[in-house]
Amino acid sequence: MSVISRGFGSKRAAADPRIPPGQYRTEDFPVLSAGPTPHLDTAVWALDITAVDGTRHTLSWQQLMELPDEELTVDIHCVTKWSKLGTHWRGVPVTALLDAAQFDTQDTHYALVHSYGGYSTNFPLEDLLDDKAWVVFEYDGKPLAPHHGGPARLLVPHLYLWKSAKWINGIELRPDDRLGFWESLGYHAYGDPWQEQRYVGD
Amino acid sequence: MELSDLAVDGNAIAGSLAEIFAVDVTSAQVQCDQCGATHPLADEKAYVRGPGSVLRCANCSAVLARFVKARDAIWLDLRGSTAWQIRTRT
Amino acid sequence: MTETHSTSRATEPVASGIPDGGPPVGEPRPGPFPWLTAELRGSWMETRTAKTLLLSVPGWTGHDPGQHVDIKLTAEDGYAAQRSYSIASASAQGWLQLTVETVSNGEVSPYLVETMDPGDKLQLRGPLGGWFRWTERLTEPALLVGGGSGIVPLMAMLRQRIQSGVATPFHLIYMARTPDHLFYANELYTLMQSHAGVTIDQLYSRSGLPDDSRPPGRLNLDDLPTPTAEPSAVAPRVYVCGPTGFVENAARLLQARGHQSDTIRTERFGPSGG
């Protein structure tokens, strides 16, 4: 039984259609992490895309910069209950990355995304395609800061933000789903904020 | 002190772990699978502001344990640490 | 089975410099640690941004200095946030004090420092932290090294020493940014004047007072006593607390000064409390 602390807590925007259930709007950009911030030099940065048969295509920073990028403004929702509206990024759609790798995605139904430092998070492949996911390298018009996942992170705004893996360094295409860092420890395998899919069984 | 490292120490998860262990485990000696270093849990690095808590080796930063308090359950993963020695009598 | 902690260690960490603090300090209180309701009875500012809260906690049976509590705040709509704070007071039944520094953009500390009024309630559990603890049953001298808000658990130790009436030599080295950042200034001054066994060195890292003999600056070797410098010439138990960077620097310097790693205990607050 909880004891209410008078005056505590930000007021949730009443019935704001842009805020998913159970979320609170913030103007800050909280920094949350599962480990130390890696400091990565773009000269040695690499993104490995591996196909189901094990074939690997490695993208250097230079190659990432040569792919078509776009500006995007999206709302982001963290499972720890804060939502930030209208965030500005620049990045390369994941679709363009996979096209560059020229893999046959026939047996590929899932992807496990990896980060420098060992973090991982899983997706049905279709949730990374078309206009649903990007590898972003700028936030608010400036190079993405290390504590926010720079030099490059995954951004998948239609799912909870733990899925937008900071410090991305790999996309592993898979025929089956393999749970990532938080998904294997009680968090929902899919993570749709609009259905409040925070934990296993939600 | 860089903004970049948000680590606190194992004291920060004493309360959460006490919900499972029913004792205060901050004095437990924890050995890292990766580098072999042993420290009291209180001295290990703890990252507590994300979806869950992560305990990392004070020497090499490898993950020692992970902890999530979900809606109806507590999830605990102790992979990364070799046996914990929790004293019951001194 | 009577293994000591040292036999369960495999390889020594490579140059980690992390002191191991030695064997446990006697039995900590057993769990469980239920959430207790605490009511604010009074509060006062220690500095422009830090406040001491006096909390009445029915069911609280005391603590060992160095220990902390988890605080939980719940909003009317059910949203809750939790943080840990070191206990500032000596052990007492039914009440305790916390000293909280406001963290800008923090979620919990601004509420505690700026919003909470006498009569308001929160939940807390504890006492937690069997490792970073002092009790009056320990007979060695104590060397306390605190940076910034790291003074809080060390102040609890000092207050407990006074309350218990023991004559254990205490040496506190307290590094604050400037005189405006000092917690407990008057009390520390009075304690040193009135208790023969208590020595307090006040250091500043950014700017100090006009007649200070030590110029302001980061902690260095000369600021720290050797293990045999204490009046009794017995190597002290060392407690270091503060932001992570301060603690790591201090621990390194203490070991360079000759303090054995199994006599040093540390508590890191991280870059911010929130």
Q: Are residues C68 and C82 in the same domain?
A: yes
Taking the complete model, does pTM exceed 0.95, yes or no? no
CA distance readout (Å), A186 to B31, B46, B66, B77, C127? 25, 19, 11, 10, 28
How sure is the predictor about B86, in pLDDT bands with cuts at 50, 70 and 90? confident
* Cα–Cα distance measured from residue B9 to residue C270, given in angstroms and rounded to the nearest whole number: 8
| Closest CA relative to residue C133, chosen from B17, B90, B20, B65 | B90
8 Å CB contact between C234 and C259: no
Instruction: Quote the mean pLDDT of chain B.
Output: 88
**Which range marks the domain in which residue C108 is found?**
36-128
In this model, does residue B4 exceed pLDDT 50? no
* Cα–Cα distance measured from residue B71 to residue A202, given in angstroms and rounded to the nearest whole number: 9
B84 has which bridge partners?
B30
| Closest CA relative to residue C171, chosen from C84, C92, C230, C124 | C230
Q: Are residues C155 and C92 in the same domain?
A: no
CATH code at A48-195: 3.90.420.10
- Measured from the Cβ of residue C60, the count of other Cβ atoms closer than 10 Å reads 20
Per-residue pLDDT, averaged over A15-24, amounts to: 88
Final residue before a domain boundary, out of C83, C98, C128: C128
Q: Are residues C146 and C257 in the same domain?
A: yes
- Number of domains into which chain C is organized: 2
| pLDDT at position B10 | 93
| pLDDT at position C232 | 66
In this model, does residue C2 exceed pLDDT 50? no
Per-residue pLDDT, averaged over B77-89, amounts to: 87
3-state secondary structure of A130: helix
Residue A185 distance to chain B (closest CA, Å): 6
C30: in domain: no
How sure is the predictor about C196, in pLDDT bands with cuts at 50, 70 and 90? confident
C239: in domain: yes
- Probe site for chain C from A2, A8, A10 (most C CB atoms < 10 A): A8
Q: Where are the domains of chain A?
A: 48-195
- Measured from the Cβ of residue C244, the count of other Cβ atoms closer than 10 Å reads 21
* Cα–Cα distance measured from residue C73 to residue A6, given in angstroms and rounded to the nearest whole number: 9
How sure is the predictor about B5, in pLDDT bands with cuts at 50, 70 and 90? low
| pLDDT at position C272 | 43
Closest residue in A to C81 (Cα) is A9
Q: Are residues C89 and C179 in the same domain?
A: no
Residue among C11, C128, C268 minimizing CB distance to B8: C268
In this model, does residue A13 exceed pLDDT 60? no
8 Å CB contact between C1 and B27: no
Alpha helices in C97-221 (DSSP H): 109-110, 151-164, 185-194
What is the per-residue pLDDT across B28-61, written as a single tens digit (0 to 9) for each?
A: 999 999 999 999 999 999 999 889 999 999 999 9
* Cα–Cα distance measured from residue C268 to residue B44, given in angstroms and rounded to the nearest whole number: 10
Q: Where are the domains of chain B?
A: 8-80
| pLDDT at position C246 | 93
C222: in domain: yes
What is the per-residue pLDDT across A137-161, written as a single tens digit (0 to 9) for each?
A: 999 999 999 999 999 999 999 999 9
Per-residue pLDDT, averaged over C14-33, amounts to: 60
Residue C81 distance to chain A (closest CA, Å): 9
- Count Cβ–Cβ pairs < 8 Å, chain A vs chain C: 47
The one-character DSSP state at C168 is -
Residues of B with CB below 8 A from C244's CB?
1, 5, 7-8
Residues of B with CB below 8 A from A37's CB?
2, 4-5
What is the per-residue pLDDT across A56-79, written as a single tens digit (0 to 9) for each?
A: 999 999 999 999 999 999 999 999
Q: Are residues C118 and C184 in the same domain?
A: no
ipTM: 0.88
How sure is the predictor about B1, in pLDDT bands with cuts at 50, 70 and 90? very low
C144: in domain: yes
| pLDDT at position C7 | 33
Q: Are residues C166 and C112 in the same domain?
A: no
CATH number at residue C223: 3.40.50.80
In this model, does residue C12 exceed pLDDT 90? no
* Cα–Cα distance measured from residue C246 to residue C219, given in angstroms and rounded to the nearest whole number: 8
Interface of C with B (CB under 8 A): 3, 5, 8-14, 16, 18, 20-21, 23-24, 26-33, 68, 70, 84, 125-126, 128-132, 243-245, 266-271, 274
In this model, does residue C274 exceed pLDDT 60? no
- Greater confidence (B85 vs C270) lies with B85
Q: Are residues C116 and C157 in the same domain?
A: no
Instruction: Quote the mean pLDDT of chain C.
Output: 88
8 Å CB contact between C93 and C61: yes
Q: Are residues C105 and C194 in the same domain?
A: no
Tokens matching residue A33: 């992490």
C174: in domain: yes
- Greater confidence (C196 vs C112) lies with C112
8 Å CB contact between C132 and C153: yes
Residue among B6, B66, B73 minimizing CB distance to A33: B6
| pLDDT at position A106 | 77
Q: Are residues C140 and C238 in the same domain?
A: yes
Final residue before a domain boundary, out of C75, C103, C128: C128
A154 has which bridge partners?
A135
C171: in domain: yes
Final residue before a domain boundary, out of C107, C128, C149: C128
C52 touches chain A (CB under 8 A): no
Instruction: Tell me, rounded to whole angstroms, the distance of Cα C247 from its chain centroid.
Output: 12
Tokens matching residue B28: 């437990």
What is the per-residue pLDDT across C117-156, written as a single tens digit (0 to 9) for each?
A: 999 999 999 999 989 999 999 999 999 999 999 999 999 9
| Beta pairing class for B29-32 and B81-85 | antiparallel
Determine the straight-line distance between the first and last CA of chain A, rounded to whole angstroms: 23
Residue among A118, A146, A198 minimizing CB distance to B4: A146
- Probe site for chain B from A28, A32, A33 (most B CB atoms < 10 A): A33
